[in-house]
Amino acid sequence: MKVFNLGQTNSVLGSYVAQLRDKNVQKDRMRFRSNLQRTGRVFAYEISKTLNYSVKHVDTPLGIADVATPDDTVVVASILRAGLPIHQGILDVFEGAESAFIAAYRKYDRGEDFHITVEYLTAPGLDGKILILADTMIASGVSIEMTLNRLLEEGEPVHTHLVCPIASAYAVEYLQKRLPPEKVTLWTAAIDEELTMQSYIVPGLGDAGDLAYGEKRKKL
């Protein structure tokens, strides 16, 4: 798996990530979602540079212009529910993209023990397409791996781009050992070094799903 950490280069993306992490700014739920959406646009723009292009002839009021536009079919997939704002940001750039949605979450067994459960999936066929899989954070890497494997049952994309604003160093190493570099690229804005025993990223940003959509009534 190839890794592009956009946070290593100074850009406006840093401002969005700073606001996502800030515990005071996080109190504004709409702003939190908006910042996730804006990060999605930035990642989508960068991914657009990797696609295949050809020149098309465009009729203008005064003549014909030659413009290079993408030829690939893009499918944007997101993990419910935290991935939804990023999903929309990516669609803002790839307005003609198809969409897929998948539910992968922590199912608690006893106390703080849990396992990852993948339940719901709706997706188009993926053969020959570009897959962009979005989530807010990658902690252990297990859920994103399970999600990707489930999506690949729907076909074989030409390439898969994982979009995740914040990842743990543990997850990056875990995924690099399991995902082929010629087939998968991870796009992130920050790689945090610490991962707790409960698989929480430190400093991270907290529970992105709760911050975007409100706290859950109970653990699943």
pLDDT in tens, the chain (220 residues): 999 999 999 999 999 999 999 999 999 999 999 999 999 999 999 999 999 999 999 999 999 999 999 999 999 999 988 999 999 999 999 999 999 999 876 555 555 555 567 778 999 999 999 999 999 999 999 889 989 999 999 999 999 999 999 999 999 999 999 999 899 999 999 999 999 877 789 999 999 999 999 987 765 4
* pLDDT for 106: 57
Give pTM, 2 decimals.
Answer: 0.92
* pLDDT for 216: 77
How far is the C-alpha of 101 from the C-alpha of 79, rounded, in Å? 6
Phi, psi of 79, deg, nearest 5: -90, 125
- Residue 80 backbone zone (phi > 0: left; psi -120 to 50: alpha; other: beta): beta
* pLDDT for 220: 47
Find, among 131, 211, 205, 198, the residue nearest to 170 by Cα: 198
Beta strand pairing call for 98-108 and 74-80: parallel
Beta strand pairing call for 53-60 and 63-70: antiparallel
* pLDDT for 30: 97
* pLDDT for 53: 98
* pLDDT for 120: 85
Find, among 125, 136, 135, 187, the residue nearest to 158 by Cα: 125
Phi, psi of 138, deg, nearest 5: -120, 110
Token pair belonging to 146: 């399970």
Helices (H), the chain: 13-21, 29-48, 84-93, 142-151, 169-178, 208-213
Which amino acid is residue 24, in one-letter code?
N
* pLDDT for 110: 57
* pLDDT for 71: 97
- Which value, to the nearest 10 degrees, does the dihedral of the CA atoms of residues 123, 126, 130, 131 take? 40
